[in-house]
Amino acid sequence: MDIGITTLLNRGVLAGWRWLDQIGKITPGTRAASKFGSFGAHSSIGFPSATLMNTRSIHVGSGVIVGRQVTLSVGYGPDYPELPERGLVIGDRCVIGDRSGLVAHESIELEDDVWFGQDVFVCDASHGYLDPDLPIGNQFGGHHPVRIGSGSWVGHGAIILPGTTIGRNAVVAAGSVVRGEVADHSVVGGAPAKLLRWLEPGVGWVGRGGDVRPVRRGHFGGGFDVSA
């Protein structure tokens, strides 16, 4: 194909995609947003989404940014009859990275200002395995609510398992698998995730080896190194 035609087609495709990206977003006032339990001002869900299921049980706060190809779902299938009223709750100013998945059956709650990297997965239920004659996919485990406290950061590719509670301003390192309790102002990482560093008031950020990093104020107070 002639390079000039190729260039023109490329420009057209990119321009069309940018148009679709803007016009395809779910924002307040759109028909899709009206089907949510609530959908706050200045929030958006990127285009295209992956799966949006039983959105009447999903509540999105204000100023929320949800990336592309994200799954937000409640229940075991479309029009599941026993949906909780607030199965998935996303607080104000949360950020959900591309290709992440939040799959709720009873309760997943993100408090305000929770940020996810890309490819994060959160679920409040799993499969059973105790019946040796029944396929695992047909065995349903219990429901164990998940809560992530305000101001916390969950890194790229992390998995948050059923029954997990993460405190305020906590850090989950990329690729971690988290289950159980994560305290306020702590840093966890690994699979399974382990405590790497925590805040001791009047002392600083204490590492597993006893080293201490000072408290720093402001938006650029220092990076995070999982090896230390």
Ramachandran assignment for 7, one of left (phi > 0), alpha (psi -120 to 50 degrees), beta (any other): alpha
Torsion angles phi and psi, residue 74, rounded to 5? -135, 135
Q: Comparing C-alpha atoms, which of 204, 202, 224 is closest to residue 214?
A: 204
Residue 116 CB contacts under 8 Å (≥ 6 apart), including other chains: 94, 95, 96, 97, 100, 154
DSSP state of 101: E
- Three state DSSP letters for 148-204: ECCCCEECCCCEECCCCEECCCCEECCCCEECCEECCCEEEECCCCEEEEEEECCCE
Q: Comparing C-alpha atoms, which of 170, 172, 168 is closest to residue 155?
A: 172
42 as an active site residue: the answer is no
Residue 221 CB contacts under 8 Å (≥ 6 apart), including other chains: none
CB atoms within 10 A of CB 76: 15
Amino acid at 217: R
Catalytic choice (59, 105, 127, 156) = 127
Active site residues: 127
